[in-house]
């Protein structure tokens, strides 16, 4: 009887040890996390920076009022000017790279260049023909987008490569620069040089 009990205790102890080993193995597997895509980290950081700007913007909109398309053109223009002035004052210390960080710029420039390489010869030639139609000025942070230049349509093939923006913001191409613009205020929030191939 004692022998039977001892043997049973030995078996149970062995089963417990095996269970602990399996449990330890499971815990180890659970701790091990899949590697994160570097582009996800960069784009997440970009989203946080955009959110930071949108919070500043909201505080200014609260003071100047929401856009009301039923107002007269003069009133809409006055609001746009007030919004722009408020944004530029709130971001007086803003500089190039605050939103388009070095990491973001490097990633996006690579994605855009790869997209251009995939284009057919005819499409590349069309791009070359249209180059003269792009706005030809050097952008600056807190600069009003010059109304003397057209707002060239953003290339549809590039848009899916970039993070989605709030409806109040948009990407623009100015020669080889990628520009981030506040639509209603017409203010350039940031830009990155050498983002778009010139030919």
Predicted confidence at residue 97, as pLDDT, reads: 97
Number of domains composing the chain? 1
Radius of gyration over every alpha carbon of the chain, rounded to an integer in angstroms: 28
Does some domain include residue 197? no
Q: Is residue 43 part of a domain?
A: yes
Please tell me the pTM assigned to this model: 0.76
C-alpha angle 34-40-43 in degrees, rounded to nearest 5? 165
Distance in angstroms (rounded) separating the CA atoms of residues 84 and 191: 17
The answer to whether position 140 is within a domain reads yes
Does 11 map to a domain? no
Q: Which residue has the higher pLDDT, 131 or 61?
A: 61
pLDDT at 28: 47
pLDDT digits (tens, 9 = 90+) for 7-61: 344 333 444 444 444 444 444 455 555 566 778 999 999 999 999 999 999 999 9
| Mean of pLDDT values over 114-132 | 63
The reported pLDDT for the residue numbered 121 is 61
Average pLDDT, stretch 65-81?
93
The model's pLDDT over 152-199, given as tens digits with 9 standing for 90+, comes to: 778 888 999 999 999 999 999 998 999 999 999 999 999 999 998 876
CA dihedral sign of residues 9, 10, 15, 21: positive
Quote the domain boundaries for residue 134. 38-192
């Amino acid at each position: 009887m004692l022998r039977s009990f001892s043997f049973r205790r030995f078996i149970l102890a062995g089963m417990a040890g095996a269970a602990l080993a399996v449990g330890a193995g499971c815990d180890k597997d659970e701790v091990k996390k899949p590697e994160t895509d570097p582009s996800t980290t960069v784009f997440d950081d970009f989203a946080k920076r955009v959110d930071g700007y949108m919070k500043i913007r909201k505080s200014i909109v609260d003071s100047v009022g929401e856009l009301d398309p039923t107002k007269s053109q003069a009133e809409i223009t006055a609001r746009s000017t007030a919004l722009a002035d408020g944004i530029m004052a709130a971001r007086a210390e803003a500089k190039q790279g605050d939103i388009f960080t070095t990491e973001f710029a490097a990633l996006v420039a690579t994605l855009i260049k790869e997209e251009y390489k995939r284009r057919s010869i005819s499409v590349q030639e069309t791009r070359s023909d249209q180059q003269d139609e792009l706005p030809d000025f050097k952008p600056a942070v807190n600069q009003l987008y010059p109304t003397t230049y057209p707002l060239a349509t953003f290339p549809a093939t590039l848009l899916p490569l970039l993070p989605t923006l709030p409806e109040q913001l948009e990407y623009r191409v100015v020669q080889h620069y990628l520009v981030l613009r506040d639509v209603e205020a017409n203010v350039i929030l940031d830009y990155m040089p050498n983002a778009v191939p010139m030919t």
